[in-house]
């Protein structure tokens, strides 16, 4: 995905706020760094890949994940917690007829707790504005074509709600166990800009 996103003004504001909180003794910089490192260490697409693999092999879990992802996530040792408040995660399932893509058009809301840090392109203005208007064109830039007969649905995240795509299980993977299936799942597949 081409395009440039300049985070410098926001990063400067965050650093200024951190400095102010440190100066007033409200935040210890080392403790803040430790908390951030612990959060990022525990958040990666690997957890979401485990959830996808379980959904591919266990129809009951798949239904629970699609009905109430927040309630189902602890079954695979995941949670949408970690911030000031737990965010709602909605899992949307790709089918032969529908392909899902996630975006946050206002900023870059993203399910970090289950997918890990977001890719740079996800935050870019180019992706955020174009994927809604021209999802097929954006997917083509990722060298992915779901097919002309497949409906593309774009899901717009918000501060309260995040989305994750449940990709279609690749054909010929029936002999694979959950760990082998999880290894096939990519972050781009969980966002919807690639197949698995």
String of DSSP letters for 66-112: HH-HHHHGGGGT--S-SSSSPPEEEEEE--SSEEEEEE-SSS----H
Reply yes or no on whether 79 is catalytic: no
pLDDT of residue 24: 82
Domain boundaries for CATH 3.90.330.10 within the chain: 44-191
* Catalytic residue chosen out of the listed positions 44, 79, 109, 118: 109
**Class assignment of domain 44-191?**
alpha beta
pLDDT of residue 4: 34
User: How much is the pTM?
Assistant: 0.78
Reply yes or no on whether 2 is catalytic: no
pLDDT profile of the chain (196 residues), mean per 10: 43 67 75 61 80 98 98 93 74 98 92 87 93 97 96 94 97 96 96 95
Strand partners, 92: 165
pLDDT of residue 196: 87
pLDDT of residue 23: 79
Reply yes or no on whether 104 is catalytic: yes
Q: Is-contact 128 105, C-beta < 8 A? A: yes
* Catalytic residue chosen out of the listed positions 2, 43, 79, 107: 107
């Amino acid at each position: 995905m081409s395009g440039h996103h300049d985070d410098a003004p926001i990063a400067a504001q965050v650093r200024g706020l951190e400095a102010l909180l440190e100066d007033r003794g409200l935040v210890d910089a080392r403790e803040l760094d430790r908390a951030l490192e612990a959060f990022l260490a525990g958040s990666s697409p690997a957890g979401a890949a485990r959830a996808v693999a379980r959904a591919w092999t266990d129809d009951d879990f798949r239904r629970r994940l699609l009905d109430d992802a927040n309630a189902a996530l602890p079954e695979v040792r995941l949670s949408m917690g970690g911030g000031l408040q737990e965010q709602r995660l909605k899992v949307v399932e790709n089918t032969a007829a529908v392909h899902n893509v996630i975006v946050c058009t206002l900023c870059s809301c993203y399910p970090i707790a289950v997918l890990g840090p977001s890719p740079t392109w996800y935050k870019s203005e180019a992706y955020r504005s174009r994927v809604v208007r021209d999802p097929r064109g954006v997917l083509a830039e990722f060298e992915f074509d779901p097919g002309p007969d497949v409906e593309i649905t774009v899901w717009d995240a918000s501060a309260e709600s995040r989305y994750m795509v449940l990709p279609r299980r690749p054909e010929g993977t029936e002999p694979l166990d959950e760990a082998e299936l999880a290894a096939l799942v990519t972050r781009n597949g969980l966002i919807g800009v690639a197949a698995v």
